[in-house]
Structure 1
Amino acid sequence: MTRNLKEQILKTASELFYSQGIKATGVDAIVKAAGTTKMTLYKYYPSKEDLVIAYLRRRDVDFTQWFVAQIDDRAAHPRDKLVAIFDVIGEWMQKPEFRGCAFINASAEFPLEDNPVHRVSAEFYDKFRGYIAELARSADAAHPDALAQQLALLFAGAIVSEQMKQNSDAIVTARAAAEILIDLALRGHPELSR
């Protein structure tokens, strides 16, 4: 029962943090929605910051597993996997519950780089760029780290654009730009190293 209650608190907080924002979601709202008490919440999560970090870490694991599985289901060749990143994100953006990227949102709410919430968000994007760089290396792209940075920027930009204006088609533009960058990198174009 204890494990279930801890999970219920985290699940409830996660839904509220993502849909309403971290700072806009108070502990009172979380305990009410979870059907528990503050004392119980603080037993498992000594502070709201601890709960926020648990939310982001869980989001990292869940999103990464889902995302990689989606990419692997769509493509076998690393070049095609790089392009599929934008297809998967495009479909995610069409879901009614889409509210942007939890990590971008969290870092916007906690902009100071030494803040633990900001650091967890930055760690997610470092790992995400690492995943893209590994795909780029597997595809024999010139300058895989530079390509990963460029594709991650397109990815994040498309997410923010869609969050600001739904049905913006930003992901279509980002995908087209990504294909150009990927193809140039696979041909060993020197400009991509900058």
Structure 2
Amino acid sequence: MTSSPPRPGRDSRVARLPPRERILDAAEELFLTEGVRAVGVQAIAERAKTTKMALYRHFATKDALIEEWLRIVAAQYTTAFDRVEAEHADDGRAQVLGVAHFVAEGLPDIVRRGCPFVNSIAGLTDPGHPARRLIAEHKVKQRRRLTVMCERAGAQAPDEVSAEITFLLEGAQVSAQNGAVDRAGDRLVAAVTGVLDRATAVGGRADGS
């Protein structure tokens, strides 16, 4: 949902990281700034202070490297969902708002570097690409978990509510990336709160009916 924060270990100690981690760090920086298709393996190897041969020992192809990077990004979202569920056990409303705050807090990073998923989809035109399939599967799982949270919150139509909230979460990221809306984080949390208020009112639904 949001741009990935710097991977653990990316600081002045980067030269001491294992080669595989240096490669992933370098790939992330270049993929986000230049796009997954524009970046060549040689450029990634140079940024990681290694060789193409060493890179291919860890990742058979550039596509495999893209897929692994996105798998790590997706895992960060899974961790965020796990955290809000653990912090607000059985409180679906707090869980949904926790997700909204997580996305809102990541928007400044998206302004700087863009959303890994949005940027990658733009560069991966083949819908059957393994990385595209990974993103699609991740989004399905994320939506399913959000639906469960909405149900816990007492939403009258949890699947419809999770769909509307997903539109808000995704839309906030795109708006932040292109600079279309100011105070995107505050607006996102307020909008999600409003959807929950309507959906959990007696007889209420996400569309206000």
Report the TM-score when normalising by structure 2.
0.79
Aligned-residue RMSD, C-alpha: 2.8
Quick check: 1:189 aligned with 2:190?
no
In 2: Cα distance, 1:97 partner to 1:144 partner: 31
Report the equivalent of 2:165.
151
Amino acid at match of 1:113: P
Report the equivalent of 1:53.
67
Taking a change above 3 Å as real, the CA distance of residues 15 and 66 of structure 1, as seen in their structure-2 partners, is farther
Which gives a bigger RCO, structure 1 or 2 (Cα 8 Å, sep 6+)?
Answer: 2
Q: Does the aligned pair in 1 maintain the 2:111–2:176 contact within 8 Å?
A: no
1:33 to 37, 47, 52: 47
State the aligned residue count: 191
Amino acid at match of 1:123: E
Q: How big is the shift at 1:97?
A: 7.5
Choose between structure 1 and 2: higher helix proportion: 1
State how 1:1-194 maps to structure 2 within 5 Å. Answer: 4-66=18-80, 68-69=82-83, 71=84, 75=88, 77-95=91-109, 98-165=112-179, 168-187=182-201, 188-190=203-205, 192=207
Structure 2 unmatched runs, 5+:
1-16
| 1:21-75 deviation per Cα after TM superposition (whole angstroms, max 9, x unaligned) | 2122211111001111111111221111010001000111133314543x35875
In 2: Cα distance, 1:108 partner to 1:193 partner: 34
Which 4+ runs in 1 deviate beyond 6 A?
Answer: none
Per the alignment, in what secondary structure is the counterpart of residue 113 of structure 1? coil
Report the TM-score when normalising by structure 1.
0.84
Per the alignment, in what secondary structure is the counterpart of residue 160 of structure 2? helix
Taking a change above 3 Å as real, the CA distance of residues 88 and 74 of structure 1, as seen in their structure-2 partners, is farther
Q: Does the aligned pair in 2 maintain the 1:143–1:193 contact within 8 Å?
A: no
Q: Does the aligned pair in 1 maintain the 2:196–2:206 contact within 8 Å?
A: no
Per the alignment, in what secondary structure is the counterpart of residue 142 of structure 1? coil
Between the aligned residues of both structures, percent identity stands at 30
